[in-house]
Structure 1
């Protein structure tokens, strides 16, 4: 979220969303050629298209649009619902059946995150269009995580995200070329764009989908509960903003809930 906020500060949000996917697609082609990955089957291509809809197009686009008018801290409030959305899609698409203890732990972690961001002043004002964008991003991203995590059991984490990027290139490349505008882009915008391209859109998914495939989409997805707190922690590290005792307490509560979800039965 902070990197996306930096990127849209000087670049068109549509370019940030589709440009990062287009460049990551070129990296994906290089990787697939290097490892000589076999082509996915027709059924797998259909599932890869669902993954691409969620993580390549949906989440990057709607978060970029939202962060043109909202802060990364505000976005963290709404994005806190992503672990729960991922768990719901894991039931619908990945065939997982978490037990009652899991849902209690997930709900407790969700409440802890919301309480933390509320008490730190990140919540203000009423519902805005940016919040709607973030809610759409959550639904689509949860779908992409669940479908990709299940598909990674067949293809592996790295090849799943790489093929999803390649499948989406007929859309991402033309949109990126149409929306490109560097006139207002500064060094901070390019830093943010480089991060969301290489890390968020490419390398980060290698580990993420591998983890979802091995540990289960619903359970591993709950690690995302730490995202809002990590947002503020990185802000403190990079921007020298103070981190109080409340941050430490909330982090402990959330991590406790994450451990609880990992120990629950399916």
Structure 2
């Protein structure tokens, strides 16, 4: 691969990652809309987690059948199973449960660690290396997002931000998602980004289908909860991963992972038209600073190394 091709792939990976983050930016508020609060519950976290994966699995089966996609080889199944545990079950279930007890702003404090944890997982699993400056930028970006989330929560009068049981659950959720991202990216070069998330949802189906049926809502649910559920089923669980897995594969999982730093700011932007929350200058300043760390991190990172072929 030529140097020019490598730069083009890096740029494509970055912009695909940004597109995925734009879609994922609504995951927290839409999940909270779906599950409600402890005082006013809507759909159960178990139902939201399992049923959204079932919806995605149905769409995946249709896509794989119409495109006559070949079955994954035996060596692919372990990585797909790990990705399913992390991205289709672990992260959405723990996130949905947590959002019953804390606000989206609180959850953003912990989920801001996703880029750093994904970079660490990529470095370990895919043996991708970067210079010390990259890690410094990753830590600086995470610190900026955490500081922003804390300031925004304090400004809105939210309390209870001290680490606790819910924060520990959120940390495990982000860790599960990060590991799932990397294992999905590991088999993307051979299976293709679209087919990876399709197989991930189908691998999870023996678990998600019975859980969804057993937790079908017995009480009336607000229409807004079904809107939130529809979004996380179609975009958070399916379409967003098409762009995200491909971005991680062609741009380098370690490098592109830092684009996740932008996710809280996409959520902030979408909250304006949906919830009437105006964008403040302080928020805009933090967004610019975070983008700067992502850009600097790209400068410090090594050339994206291809994922190892699974044989």
TM-score, normalization by structure 2:
0.83
Cα distance per residue 1:219-247 (max 9 Å; x no partner): 11110101122222222221111221101
Aligned CA RMSD, in angstroms, stands at 1.2
Q: Distance in 2 between matches of 1:232 and 1:59?
A: 21
Asked whether the equivalents of residues 86 and 145 of structure 1 are also in contact (C-alpha less than 8 Å), the reply is yes
Q: Distance in 1 between matches of 2:220 and 2:255?
A: 42
Name 1:56's counterpart in structure 2. 88
Name 1:120's counterpart in structure 2. 152
Asked whether the equivalents of residues 88 and 201 of structure 2 are also in contact (C-alpha less than 8 Å), the reply is yes
**Within-5 A mapping of 1:1-266:** 1-9=28-36, 10-121=42-153, 124-125=159-160, 126-266=162-302
SS at match of 2:129: coil
Asked whether the equivalents of residues 107 and 170 of structure 2 are also in contact (C-alpha less than 8 Å), the reply is yes
Alpha-carbon distance, 1:8 to partner: 0.4
Asked whether the equivalents of residues 77 and 228 of structure 1 are also in contact (C-alpha less than 8 Å), the reply is no
SS at match of 1:121: helix
Q: Distance in 1 between matches of 2:85 and 2:124?
A: 17
Alpha-carbon distance, 1:262 to partner: 2.0
Asked whether the equivalents of residues 255 and 301 of structure 2 are also in contact (C-alpha less than 8 Å), the reply is no
Alpha-carbon distance, 1:161 to partner: 0.6
Cα distance per residue 1:59-114 (max 9 Å; x no partner): 00000000011111111111000110100100111121122121111111111111
Q: Distance in 1 between matches of 2:218 and 2:267?
A: 27
Asked whether the equivalents of residues 11 and 182 of structure 1 are also in contact (C-alpha less than 8 Å), the reply is no
Q: Name structure 2 gaps, 5 residues minimum.
A: 1-27, 37-41, 303-311
Q: Distance in 2 between matches of 1:166 and 1:216?
A: 26
Q: Which runs of 4+ in 1 moved over 3 A?
A: none
SS at match of 2:208: helix
